[in-house]
Amino acid sequence: MFEIRIHSRGGQGGVTAAKLIAQAAFRDGKHATAFPFYGAERRGAPVVSFVRISDAPIKVYSQVREPDMVIVLDASVMDSIDVLAGLKEGGDVLINAPEPPVLGSHPVHAVDLTGIALAQKLVVAGSPILNTPVLGALAKLGLVSMESAIAAIAETFSDPRNVEVAKAAYAEVQA
């Protein structure tokens, strides 16, 4: 089983990103679950979402405490939350940043999701949409196929810019 923890802020699309990842994995023939964990719902508050992907049915529905991958949609959450807590040895980090920061011995992949969304003017309530471009980056890293990522995005959103930002993130992620 491959487990992912996503750190974001309310309104950035972290919860939807988890659902899209699971949807794309399902299209790839995998079993997948996705769910969020947050307190009082408000825009800007830290939110943690979880995804599990497996070849076999998933019967675990608890929080992911020892992820294989951590995704950080807003680097500012790292000021108050240890996003690397429990990350497995050699576990990957995908971060929304123009350049990959050094985060211990973990492989870090960076992509400027914010810049990609802003370039396409993909903004809701003043915030750039980060959930669809992150799917493109994950496809480049081999977590899901790009075909399934695009299909999951197209099933969920009618605006074609969502697919375009996924393609741009696929091309720009620093692996």
Q: Which domains does the chain have, with CATH numbers?
A: 2-172 (3.40.920.10)
pLDDT at 118: 96
10 Å Cβ neighbour count for 16?
Answer: 21
Q: CA 157, CA 175: separation in Å to the nearest integer? A: 27
pLDDT at 39: 63
pLDDT at 40: 59
Q: Please write the tens of the pLDDT for every residue from 5-42.
A: 999 988 888 999 999 999 999 999 999 999 988 665 56
Tell me the percentage of the chain whose pLDDT exceeds 70: 97
Q: What is the CA radius of gyration of the chain?
A: 15
pLDDT at 46: 85
3-state DSSP helix/strand/coil percent for the chain, to nearest 5?
35, 25, 40
Q: With contact defined as beta carbons under 8 Å apart, do 151 and 24 qualify?
A: yes
Average pLDDT over residues 47-73: 95
Q: Kindly state the tokens that stand for 144.
A: 């899901």
Residue length of the chain: 175
DSSP E strand boundaries for the chain: 2-9, 31-37, 46-54, 69-72, 92-96, 108-111, 123-124, 127-128
Q: With contact defined as beta carbons under 8 Å apart, do 111 and 169 qualify?
A: yes
Tell me the percentage of the chain whose pLDDT exceeds 90: 81
pLDDT at 145: 98
Q: With contact defined as beta carbons under 8 Å apart, do 44 and 69 qualify?
A: no
| CA distance to 40, 90, 96, 112, per residue, from 63 (Å) | 18, 20, 22, 27
pLDDT at 11: 82
Q: Please write the tens of the pLDDT for every residue from 109-154.
A: 999 999 999 999 999 888 899 999 999 999 999 999 999 999 999 9
pLDDT at 32: 97
pLDDT at 41: 58
